[in-house]
Structure 1
Amino acid sequence: MLSQKEKELLATAWRGLTPAAGYLGSDALIRMFTTFPGSKTYFSHLDISPGSAHLFSHGEKIVLAIAEGAQDISQLTVTLAPLQTLHAYLLRIDPSNFKLLSHCMLVALAIHMGEDFTPVLHAVMDKYLSAFAAVLAEKYR
């Protein structure tokens, strides 16, 4: 899937992004809720208005999980196992939402990183976020 050089680029990028985890995650979530309103269904118990503490906190959790998985992509299934179970069996999230969030995360990254979001990094992030979404959806099969 990713070359060794791409894996290193990915891990380095996500280490640098973790300080902005809450901002990036909440931005991606707001984009998803705005573009795909049906995705809000799973958040009815939270205040998901722009700038809310709930949105920031959940966004931060998402980005930190993505960053953790990026540190050793060969162990992605192991790293995400608890989240797979939580989302599939307890929360019963429609797995198509993982792909939607991945796309919105790419947009949030492009805006946050500006010129540092090179075409090469964009391609690597797209590959990784696609894999991340696919691994989260594995328990649904």
Structure 2
Amino acid sequence: MALAAADRATVRALWKKMGSNVGVYATEALERMFLGFPSTTTYFLHLDLSLGSTQVKAHGQKVADALTLAVEHLEDLPRALSALRHRHVRELRVDPASFQLLGHCLLVTLARHFPGDFSPTLHASLVAPTPGA
């Protein structure tokens, strides 16, 4: 099931509002995940995971770039993210539950930074089912 047009518009409007700070928010979401769910750090033992670490910021920017790619291709997420999905599932063997935890931490981060925009409608749009993505 594809994301509805209204959901795509809602997500894109928030992304536009985030502007050049997507990496900042993605980094904060990663930091939240690492602190709140320490088991997720197992994939990052080679990084300095302290708050404000340049390595976490760099990975946060990678996450931001992937999320921006997803937002740009909401009409066909599975195809747009297939290479990234393959790398994380097949090569890096990342537990799919870690993505759910990161998603939760991103929602918390966005709700904190955009409280006036973070309506139930926006929340639903951000968690709308996207099979195969």
1:18-72 alpha-carbon deviations (Å, 9 max, x no partner): 4112211111111111111100000011112110111111112112211221223
Match of 2:12 in 1: 11
Alignment of 1:47-126 (within 5 A): 47-126=48-127
What one-letter code is carried by the residue in structure 2 that aligns with 1:3? Answer: A
CA contact (8 A) 2:70 2:77 kept: yes
CA contact (8 A) 1:24 1:109 kept: yes
Q: For CA contacts below 8 A with separation 6 or more, give which structure has more relative contact order.
A: 2
The percent of aligned pairs where both chains have the same amino acid is 36
1:75-100 alpha-carbon deviations (Å, 9 max, x no partner): 10111111111101221111110111
* CA distance, structure 2, for counterparts of residue 105 and residue 25 of structure 1: 7
Question: What TM-score comes out, normalization by structure 1 length?
Answer: 0.84
Unaligned runs of 5+ in 1: 137-141
CA contact (8 A) 1:80 1:135 kept: no
Match of 1:33 in 2: 34
CA contact (8 A) 2:70 2:80 kept: yes
1:16 CA displacement? 2.7
Unaligned runs of 5+ in 2: none
What one-letter code is carried by the residue in structure 1 that aligns with 2:8? Answer: K
What one-letter code is carried by the residue in structure 1 that aligns with 2:67? Answer: I
User: What's the C-alpha RMSD, in Å, of the aligned pairs?
Assistant: 1.7
The structure-2 alpha-carbon separation of the partners of 1:96 and 1:16, relative to structure 1 and needing over 3 Å to count, comes to: same
* CA distance, structure 2, for counterparts of residue 4 and residue 100 of structure 1: 26
> What SS is found at the alignment partner of 1:74?
helix
* CA distance, structure 1, for counterparts of residue 116 and residue 41 of structure 2: 31
Higher helix share: 1
